[in-house]
Structure 1
Amino acid sequence: MNNSANNAANAFDKIDSHVSSSLFNHAPTDLSIDNAEPLEEISRAEAHSLRQQADRLQNLLKVMPAGVVVVDGRGQVKQANQVALDFLGEPLEGEAWRTIIQRSFKPQADDGHEVSLRDGRKVKLSITPLANEPGQIIVLTDLTETRKLQQRMSHLQRLSSLGNMVASLAHQIRTPLSAAMLYGANLNNQNLPEQSRQQFNEKLMSRLQDLESQVNDMLLFAKSGDHEVVSELSLQTLLTEVEAGAEAMLKKSDAKLEVTLPEPDVQILGNKTALAGALQNLIQNALHVKPDGAVIKLSAVRREQGSNIVDITVADNGPGIKKEYMNRIFEPFFTTKSQGTGLGLAVVKAVAQSHHGSVGLKSQLGKGTAISLCLPMLNHDENGENCYEEFEQPIAVGA
C-alpha cells in the first residue's frame, strides 16, 4: 500500500525529468531535421507511458480505504487523497503537517497504539520515508470499528465466563462460609478455653480471607478487559510497588522474593492497578504451591538490545505443573486446588491481552514454574516485533 501511494506521489514529478533525460540520451550528434521526428516520437511515447502510470496510481489513491498524505522535506503537505481529507478536514495541500496535527488530532488517555481524532475516531499512523526525495508518506487507517468490535467481543466473552462463574459461585463460597459460621458460633461459647478461642479465631480469619480472595479474583476477572485508564509506567516503579505489596504474605509464609529491576528502566503504556494485581496473583499462586521455604523471583527483562518487547516473569521453586495441565492452566475456573475459583491465572492472561501482550508458561516437575507477561514497550511499532512469536503456546520443560 505504501509503495503504491509513494509511486503515485512521485509519478507526476518524474514525467518531466524522464522526458528530459530521454531527450538527452537519445539525442544524436547530428541534430538535423531528419532526426528530429524519431526523437519526438520516442519522447512522446515515454511521456505517454509515464502519464498512464501516474493516472493509474492516482486512481489507486482515490479508491484506497486508508488516508494517504504526502509530506515534503519542508514538512508541508504535497498531496492527499479524499479519505485523508475526510479524516483531517480541509485544507490539507500546502499546509504544514505540524499545523494539521494540532488542528485535527486530540490524543486520549486510552489511545494505546492508536491516535484519536477530534471527532472521536481512532486511527493508526504508518509513516514511511519517500524513496527518491526528502519527505514522508503517512498512511492513516481507521481502527474505530475494529476497536469497538474487539471490545464488544471481549465483553461478550466475559459475560459468558461470568455466567459460568455464577453457576459455580454457590459451591465456591459455601464451604468457607459454612466453616466461618461454625467457627463464629463456637466463639459465642462463654465457657470456651482461651486456647480454643484463639484457634477458632485464627480459623475464622483464614476462612474469611479465603472468601475475600475469591471475591477479588472474580472482580479482577470481570474487569480484566476494561482498562480504559492507562498511562506511561516505569517498570522499576511497578515492580518496587508489587514487592512492597507482597511483603505481608511473604512474611506469613516465611518466603523470599528476589526482585530484578530492568536496567536501564523500561517504560510501557498500561494500567498500573491491573498489572500490579496480576503480578500479586502470580506471587500468591507461587506461595500456594509451596507454602514453606518458597523462593520467588520477580524480574522484568527486555528481550534483547533494540527489542521493543519486555517480559515480566514470576518464577518459583515449587513442584512444577504436570504436562497434562499445561494447555488448560489459563482457562477460567480450571484449578487443581480444593480451594479457590480457578480464576487467578485467567486474570493474568486477560490483563496481558488487554495490554496488547500475551502470557507464557514454562514448568519443570520438581524444579518449579515460570510465568511471564510479555508486553510491548512504549512507542512499540505494531508492524514489527510482537509478543506472540515466542509465547503463543505454553512450553513444558521436562516431564
Structure 2
Amino acid sequence: MSLTRGDNNNESAKSTVSTGKAPKLLSEAFAGELDLLRLQSNQLNQLFDVMPAGVVIIDGDGIIVKTNNVANNLLGAELLKKAWIDVITSAFKPRADDGHEVSLNDGRRVKLDISSFGSQAGQLILITDLTETRLLQDKLSHMQRLSALGRMVSTLAHQIRTPLSAAMLYCSNLSSKALSAEKRQNFQDKLTSRLQDLEQQVNDMLLFAKSGGKQVVEVFSVTALLNDAISGVEAQINEANAQLNLAIDDQNLNILGNQNALEGALQNLIHNSIQVINQQAIIDVHAYRKEQSIYIHVKDNGCGIDETEVENIFEPFYTSKVQGTGLGLAVVKSVAKAHHGDVSLVSKQGEGADFCIKLPIFNTEKDK
C-alpha cells in the first residue's frame, strides 16, 4: 500500500511541475510574438518615412490619423487630427490647366492616388510631386523642338525659295502693259497659288514650333472646335470642289486645351486630304465619345497611303509631296500629344486615309 501511495504522490508532483511550466511557456511565446510585431511595426514606420511620395491615412470620418514627412512638407503644415476636406481647401489651388494633376498653393503640381482599406473604414492617399518631372519633360521637349527647328531651317530655305522665285516671276510678268486679260488672270492665279504655298509652309513651321510649348488653355466644346476649324478652310474646300460631311454624335462634349492649336491640327488634316485628291474630294469628319475619350476622325476618298509609309508619316520632315515641309502631320501629332492625346492612321493603298485624333474628355461637375 505504501508503494502505491508513493507512486500516486510522484504522479501528482509531475503533474504540478508540468502545469507550472505551461504559463511560463505561453508567456515566452507571447513575448516573442510581441517583439516580432514591434520589429515589423518599426520597419513599416521607417519605410513609411523614407517613401519618396507623401502618404496620408484618414479614418472613416475623414480625419487624418497618420502622415509621413513628405506629405507634411508638400502640404505645408502638421496634418494629424485635421479633417482632410480642410486640408484640401487650405493647401490646394486648382488651375484650369491642371488636367490629371492638381496644383498646390506654392505652384507645385502633384498627383493624387486614393485607395480604400477594403472592409475597414478609412482611406490611404498617395501624393506624388510631379513638379521636377514636368520641368525636365518641358526642357527635353524644348531641346527636341530646337533640334528639329534647326533641321527645319535648311529644309525651308530651299522649299520657300522655289515658290518665292515663282511668285516674283509672275509679279514681273503682271507688270507688262501688253499682257492680255486672259494671261493676266492666269498669272494672277499662279501667283496666288504660290503665295498660298508659302503661307501654308510658314503656318506649319509656326504650329510645329508652338505645339510642344505652354499654351493658354480653356474649356470649349467639340462642336465649336469643329465648326471653327472647318470655317477656316471653307475657301479651300470650295476652290477644290470638295465635299465635307460633318457628324457629331454628342453636342455636349467638352475639351480642356488650346482651341487654336487643335483647330490648326484639324485644318492640316483637311488641307492634306484636299491636296492629295486635288479635285472633288469627299471628306468625312466624325466626332464621338468612347468611355473617357473623344475621337475625331478625318476620312477621305483618296488613293490611300502605302503601308510602308504609314510608320513614318508623323515624323518631322517626312513627305512624299513635291512641295511641302513634311511638318503638317508632325504638327498634328505634336498638338495631340500636348493635349494628353494621340493620333493614328488607318489606310490602305486605293482605299483612302482615315486619321483619328484621340483626346481626353473634360468632365463638368454635372458629369462627375
Q: Give the alignment's TM-score, normalised by structure 2.
A: 0.88
Give the deviation of 1:168 after TM superposition. 1.5
1:52-76 Cα shifts (integer Å, max 9, x gaps): 3322211111010000011222222
Superposition deviation, residue 130 in structure 1: 2.4
Q: For 1:322, give the aligned amino acid.
A: D
Q: Quick one: which of 288, 298, 305 aligns to 1:314?
A: 298
* Unaligned stretches of 5+ residues in structure 2: 1-18, 364-368
Instruction: Name the structure 1 match of 2:269.
Output: 282
Alignment match, 1:171: 158
Deviation at 1:43, TM superposition (A): 4.7
Please give the per-residue CA displacement for 1:162-211, whole angstroms capped at 9, x wherever unaligned. Answer: 11111112211111111111111111112221222122111111111111
Hey, what does 1:256 align to over in structure 2?
A: 243
Question: 1:44-55 maps to which residues of 2 (within 5 A)?
Answer: 44-55=31-42
Size of the alignment, in residue pairs? 346
For residues 137-175 of structure 1, give each alpha carbon's deviation from its aligned partner in whole angstroms, at most 9, with x where no partner exists: 111111111111111111111111111111112211111
1:92-111 → structure 2 map (5 Å cutoff): 92-111=79-98
- Alignment correspondent of 1:346: 330
Describe the superposition over 1:236-263 as per-residue Cα deviations: whole angstroms up to 9, x where unpaired. Answer: 3322322333322211111111222132
Q: For 2:159 and 2:266, how far apart are their aligned partners in 1? A: 23
- Does 1:128 pair with 2:115? yes
Would the aligned equivalents of 1:298 and 1:312 in 2 still touch at CA under 8 Å?
yes
**Counterpart pick for 1:337 among 284, 307, 321:** 321
Q: What displacement does 1:112 show?
A: 2.5
Q: 1:355 aligns with which of 339, 342, 351?
A: 339
Matches within 5 A, 1:237-276: 237-263=224-250, 265-276=252-263
Please name the residue that 1:388 is paired with. Answer: none
Aligned CA-pair RMSD:
2.1
Structure 1: which 5+ residue stretches go unaligned?
1-31, 380-399
Aligned match for 2:353, one of 349, 362, 369: 369
**Greater Cα offset, 96-105 or 146-155:** 96-105
1:160 matched to 2:157: no
Contact 2:345–2:353 (CA under 8 A) maintained in structure 1 = yes
> 1:95-154 CA distances to partner (integer Å, 9 max, x unpaired)?
111211122122233322211212222111111112342222111111111111111111
Of 32-41 and 157-166, deviating more is 32-41
Assess if the C-alpha contact under 8 Å between 1:301 and 1:312 holds in 2.
Answer: yes
| CA distance, structure 2, for counterparts of residue 135 and residue 377 of structure 1 | 30
User: What letter corresponds to residue 198 of structure 1 in structure 2?
Assistant: Q
2:76 aligned to 89, 94, 114, which one?
Answer: 89
> What residue is the counterpart of 2:11 in the other structure?
none
Letter in 2 for 1:340: G
Structure 1 length as normaliser, TM-score?
Answer: 0.81
Give the Cα separation in 2 of the matches to 1:363 and 1:126: 39
1:199 lines up with 2:183 in the alignment: no
Q: SS of the residue aligned with 1:313?
A: strand
Q: Take 2:154 and 2:331, find their aligned partners in 1: how far apart are those partners?
A: 18
- 1:227 and 1:271 in contact (8 A); partners too: no
Equivalence for 1:17: none
The letter for the 2-side match of 1:283 is I
Q: 1:34 deviation in Å?
A: 8.5
Q: Which of 289, 308, 325 pairs up with 1:324?
A: 308
Secondary structure of the 1:241 match is: helix
**Is residue 2:289 matched to residue 1:302?**
yes
C-alpha distance after superposition, 1:258-287 (max 9, x if no partner): 222132633332211111110110000011
Q: 1:42 to 1:236 in 2, by over 3 A?
A: farther
For 2:357, the aligned partner's letter is: L
Amino acid at match of 2:295: D
